[in-house]
Amino acid sequence: MGRLEALDANYSAADSEFAKAIEIDPALSDIHYYTGMSRLKQTRFSEAADEFRKEIQQNPQHARAQYHLGFVLASMGQVDEAVKQYEQTMRLDPLYAEAYYELGKIRLQQGRTADAIELLEKGVQLSPNKSYGYYQLSQAYRKAGKESASEQAMSRYRELKAKERGTSP
């Protein structure tokens, strides 16, 4: 029921259902992950982080919980801890494109342009139909002085963005 409520964006109701499920079986697979996702959607980052940590404690191989813990930590400004979570996510699931993207964004902000390019290229390779990856990659190329590559990435970004909006580029 909690997942259904969350799908309908009824996060308070979802939280209530998840709490009932935890009361019945606190070791229920994915329950803390879904509770964390509900809290994340409500921008209750600290509570979301607590839930993701509980899920990881029960299942250290839970790549999605690792990734989302990194995301909320980054949202709370805990960048070093977020980096560790994204790196762990990539170790657990080398095909998790969003982890490469988010870590690439951080590396770009840190001025580690070559690292950012490598990560962002891997992210768009793994998820070639996501516009946001190309946008960040364009910025990284531009920062590295690779104008032609930057323009190509920006062109792909615009093309995908137009598809998302249902318009022509």
Mind listing the pLDDT tens digit for each residue in 80-137? 999 999 999 999 999 999 999 999 999 999 999 999 999 999 999 999 999 999 999 9
Distance CA 43, CA 96 (A): 23
Question: Are residues 142 and 109 in contact, defined by beta-carbon separation less than 8 angstroms?
Answer: no
Q: What is the pTM of this model?
A: 0.87
How remote is the C-alpha of 156 from its chain's centroid?
Answer: 21
Mind listing the pLDDT tens digit for each residue in 43-90? 999 999 999 999 999 999 999 999 999 999 999 999 999 999 999 999
pLDDT at 10 over 70: no
pLDDT at 168: 61
Mind listing the pLDDT tens digit for each residue in 136-155? 999 999 999 999 999 999 99
pLDDT at 12 over 90: no
- Residue for token pair 């209750």: 44
Q: In order of start, what are the domains of the chain with their CATH numbers?
A: 113-169 (1.25.40)
- Residues 152, 154, 158, 161, Cα dihedral to 10°: 120
Residue type, 87: E
Mean pLDDT of all residues belonging to the chain: 92
Beta-carbon contacts of residue 85 (< 8 Å; ≥ 6 apart):
66, 67, 69, 70, 73
